[in-house]
Amino acid sequence: MVTRRRRPPSDPAREVAYLLLRAVDAQAAFANLALPRLLAERGLTGRDAAFATELGYGTLRALGTLDAVLARCVDRPLPDVEAGVRDLLRLGGYQLLHTRVPTHAAVASTVDLAHAVGHGRAAGFVNAVLRRVADKSADEWTAELTAGLRPLDALAVRTRHPRWIAAAFAAALGGDLTETERALRADDARPITHLAAWPGRSTRAELCAAVPGAEPGPYSPYAVRLAAGGDPAAVPAIRERRAGVQDEGSQLCALALAAAPLAGRDEHWLDLCAGPGGKAALLAGLAAERGAQLTANELRAHRARLVRDVTAGWDVPVRTGDARSFPPRPDGYDRVLLDVPCTGLGALRRRPEARWRRQADDVADLVALQRELLDAALRLARPGGVVAYVTCSPHPAETVDVVAGQSLLDARTALPELPDLGPGPTVQLWPHRHGTDAMFLALLQT
Ligand SMILES: C[S@@+](CC[C@H](N)C(=O)[O-])C[C@H]1O[C@@H](n2cnc3c(N)ncnc32)[C@H](O)[C@@H]1O
């Protein structure tokens, strides 16, 4: 008779972390959307939710480096290990190397989890592999993985990033590896939520009063930074669409376009890649205050709908379509925002899985699109108008290289409150310098 091992008492936090890894791997889920769903389904709150988050997000951030360790502890190529079992090993490996969970608890709880999630037959394998991982400390593994590597390659391993991302950050920071290390480590910090008070609809004072611990952002006159764990849903102005959740760096890019010096008419503003509408809402409020008209455009219908939702009541025409075929105004637009689709390397702290999901090969196609979109934006602006080219990425191929050879205004003058902006004329914001996403801004004169 076959006796089945009884399902051990479940450990809900570890099980949620495991299910998150599976959703990211098997369904290409976004961790920041999948985790809240899983926590709600399992009814996890408080310390259990925090532990599930630490395990799930931490494992996703360290994934490539954990896999390099596991590859040295498994007797076959790691990709040949069944996907669910591989995720168990990653979760156990993360606990062993990067948390205070004692070795025996990390191994035993992962073996229990293997039984609980239907991988009981692999329990012995999981146990053996994790014991091999536990033979060395995190520092010893790092020393082993970085032995003989060049400084940048070693830095990538130490900070648990793919090499191409470490190289892009280093290039954006002028090759300064000490600062590059700070920039890469900032991707592991849990970002706090920023809100934007939309001009004419809410104020910072109102937003700050609605959540304990909220404070005005240091740079944008519309920004509020919530305390760690602060819940934007608790803010009535957010629920009533009078304010939005928006990184302060994104706000600054929209504000810089509105503040850029402009000779002559200042009535027609255009946001060419507007979905989901964070910058459009801010610009719509500013345009209304200044007697200008904002027009918005977005390729994807569902994102265009979101733009319509957030700009409702401001009389913003929203077109759904490709910006490259946006119909020109005979006399051109005065101010154009071009917030291009990009690798998103500037917001890795918000997307735990993104650093390993994005591939270096993605860059070339995006850059080709960014260049075409910039051509379109420059055609749509009037002579003497201004275009703000914005990315949420510090990758030089997507930033300074795209705008090279254009007539650039000094974007720093449109952001007078900001420290550490470098030599200009373009601006690169950084989480480790400014507490914002790593937004890039160039202001182009047409
Ligand atoms: C970085 S996001 C813009 C974020 C937005 N400005 C905000 O602040 O909420 C880039 C947007 O460009 C859109 N997009 C991609 N290709 C496009 C194209 N060819 N024409 C217009 N929009 C495009 C994407 O769907 C995406 O919504």
The CA distance from 377 to 328, in Å, is 10
- In the chain, the amino acid numbered 437 is D
The CA distance from 253 to 311, in Å, is 18
H-helix or E-strand spanning residue 406: none
pLDDT tens readout for residues 392-438: 999 999 999 999 999 999 999 999 989 999 999 999 999 999 999 99
Q: Which residues are catalytic?
A: 392
CA 373 vs. chain centroid, Å, equals: 22
Model-level pTM?
Answer: 0.95
Ligand 1, closest atom to CA 250?
8
pLDDT tens readout for residues 37-96: 999 999 999 999 999 999 999 999 999 999 999 999 999 999 999 999 999 999 999 999
The CA distance from 412 to 421, in Å, is 7
As a 3-state breakdown, the chain gives helix, strand, coil percent values, each rounded to 5, of: 50, 10, 35
260 Cα–ligand 1 center, Å: 22
- 3-class state of residue 439 by DSSP: coil
| Closest listed residue to residue 20, CA positions, set 36, 7, 44 | 36
Q: Using 50, 70 and 90 to split pLDDT, how confident is the model at 8?
A: low
CB of residue 341 inside a 6 A radius of ligand 1: yes
CB of residue 321 inside a 6 A radius of ligand 1: no
CB of residue 376 inside a 6 A radius of ligand 1: no
DSSP 16-63: HHHHHHHHHHHH---HHHHHHHHHHHHT--HHHHHHHHHHHHHHHHHH
The CA distance from 414 to 445, in Å, is 13
Give the position of tokens 């959703």: 23
Kindly tell me if the per-residue pLDDT of 347 is higher than 60. Answer: yes
219-240 as b/e: b if 16+ CB within 10 A: bbebbbbbeeebebeebebbee
Average pLDDT (165-173) is 98
270 Cα–ligand 1 center, Å: 13
Pocket test for ligand 1, best of 273, 387, 398 (most atoms within 8 A of CB): 273
Pocket test for ligand 1, best of 245, 255, 299, 307 (most atoms within 8 A of CB): 299
Q: Where are the alpha helices (DSSP H) in 328-442?
A: 354-357, 362-380, 400-403, 431-434
CB of residue 245 inside a 6 A radius of ligand 1: no
Tally Cβ neighbours within 10 Å of residue 317.
11
pLDDT tens readout for residues 192-225: 899 999 999 999 999 999 999 999 999 999 999 9
Residue 275, C-beta contacts closer than 8 angstroms, at least 6 positions apart: 298, 299, 300, 303, 304, 306, 307
Task: Give the Cα-Cα-Cα angle 233, 238, 241 (nearest 5 degrees).
Answer: 140
* Per-residue model confidence (pLDDT) at position 354: 97
Residue 17, C-beta contacts closer than 8 angstroms, at least 6 positions apart: 52, 55, 56, 59, 91
What are the two backbone dihedrals, phi and then psi, of residue 337, each rounded to the nearest 5 degrees? -100, 125
Residues linked to residue 224 through DSSP beta bridges, in sequence order: 195, 216
CB of residue 273 inside a 6 A radius of ligand 1: yes
Instruction: From residue 331, give the alpha-carbon distance in Å to each of 49, 274, 322, 379.
Output: 55, 22, 21, 11
pLDDT tens readout for residues 19-33: 999 999 999 999 999
Residue nearest to atom 23 of ligand 1 (CA): 299
100 Cα–ligand 1 center, Å: 42
368-407 as b/e: b if 16+ CB within 10 A: eebeebbebbbebbbeebbbbbbbbbbbbbbbbebbeeee
Burial degree of 344 (CB within 10 A; 0-12, 13-18, 19+): buried
| Closest listed residue to residue 171, CA positions, set 158, 150, 187, 152 | 152
Give the position of tokens 């500037």: 346
373 Cα–ligand 1 center, Å: 10
Pocket test for ligand 1, best of 198, 298, 367, 395 (most atoms within 8 A of CB): 298
297 Cα–ligand 1 center, Å: 8
